[in-house]
Amino acid sequence: MALYAFLFADPAEHFLPQGVIAGTIAAMLAISVLVIRFLDNPYTPGLGTLKPTEMQRVLG
């Protein structure tokens, strides 16, 4: 991932801005994978999960 970002790097630019760009791309990719994982299984126990209380009340 970082190698791909560095392939399009400008040789006249310093290393720090290019590293920040590569780090931002990697962070956005990691966050999007985590969001997809959370949205794929919303009923697992933990913070921010959905609880099927209405369904239990109707069926119970």
- Under 8 Å CB-to-CB from 55, ≥6 apart: which residues? none
Question: Which residues form the domain of 38?
Answer: 13-59
Q: Is residue 31 part of a domain?
A: yes
Whole-number pLDDT of residue 2:
63
Per-residue model confidence (pLDDT) at position 29: 93
Give how many domains the chain has, as a whole number: 1
pLDDT of residue 18 exceeding 80: yes
**Residue 2 belongs to a domain:** no
3 occurs within a structural domain = no
Model-wide pTM > 0.75: no
Is-contact 47 19, C-beta < 8 A?
Answer: no
